[in-house]
Structures are given as structure tokens and as C-alpha cells.
Amino acid sequence: ETGVTQTPRHLVMGMTNKKSLKCEQHLGHNAMYWYKQSAKKPLELMFVYNFKEQTENNSVPSRFSPECPNSSHLFLHLHTLQPEDSALYLCASSQDWGRRMVEAFFGQGTRLTVV
């Protein structure tokens, strides 16, 4: 059982659709992250939230819109995506990085296919 839960596990959407990915953590962490994992590429950090404040936007296109209403929940809103956005989207959480050891805990990911 994971302390970080992502829904849905799989998502197929058209390029004109709007959908949202959800992440919830039950670990009492203050930092949450979105990563994109594409085939044959390293994990790409997309967004970082620390104490609900966005602290990093790693040059992500505006068709990806994050939302962090509280330290336990993180959303990724998707609209007018492209086929190259098809990937595994991973959510992670950690203690805030003022701590000595910042270990991230991951969800099982959402497999997104854009058609």
C-alpha cells in the first residue's frame, strides 16, 4: 500500500478534451511534485509545491496547469494536449527541503495516452 495515491491509473483523451489528474498523500508531507516519465528519457520534473506554494515550474507548456489546494492534494489539469504528451505522470511527496534528508515517496502514476 502506498502513502501516495494517484487517480486515474489510466487515461485516454482526445486533443480537445479537458481532464485532471489527482494526487493525494497521507504521509504528512509538505512538498509535492509532478514528474513526467517518457520512454527512453529521464524523469522530467514538471512542478514543485512546498507548503502549497508553487516553487518550481520547469518550463512546462501552459496546457499543463497544476493546482495545490492544500499540502495533501495536488492536481494536474490538462487541456488541448498533443500526442507527444503521452507518458506516465508520477506524483511524489516529501518533507519540506529544510530537513536534512529529502526522500521522495511516489504514487503509482497515471498512464496518459493522447489520441
Identity of the residue, 45 or 60, whose beta carbon is nearer to another protein in the bound complex: 45
Query: Rounded CA gap, 55 and 20, in Å?
Result: 21
Total Cβ atoms within 10 A of residue 64: 19
111, with CB counted inside 10 A (0-12, 13-18, 19+), is middle
Of 11, 21, 33, 112, the one binding another protein by CB under 8 A? 33
- Which cell numbers in the block locate residue 54? 508553487
- Please identify, among the stretches 18-26, 34-42, 59-67, 70-78, the one whose residues bind another protein according to the rule CB under 8 A: 34-42
Residue number with CB closer to another protein (81 or 90) = 90
| Shortest Cβ 68–another protein spacing (Å) | 15
d(CA 49, CA 86): 23
Show the binding pattern over residues 51-90: x = contacts another protein (CB under 8 A), - = does not: ----xx-------------------------------x-x
Q: How far apart are CA 29 and CA 33, in angstroms?
A: 11
Residues of the shown chain interacting with another protein in the complex, contacts defined by CB under 8 A? 2, 31, 33, 40-43, 45, 48, 50, 55-56, 88, 90, 92, 96-109, 111
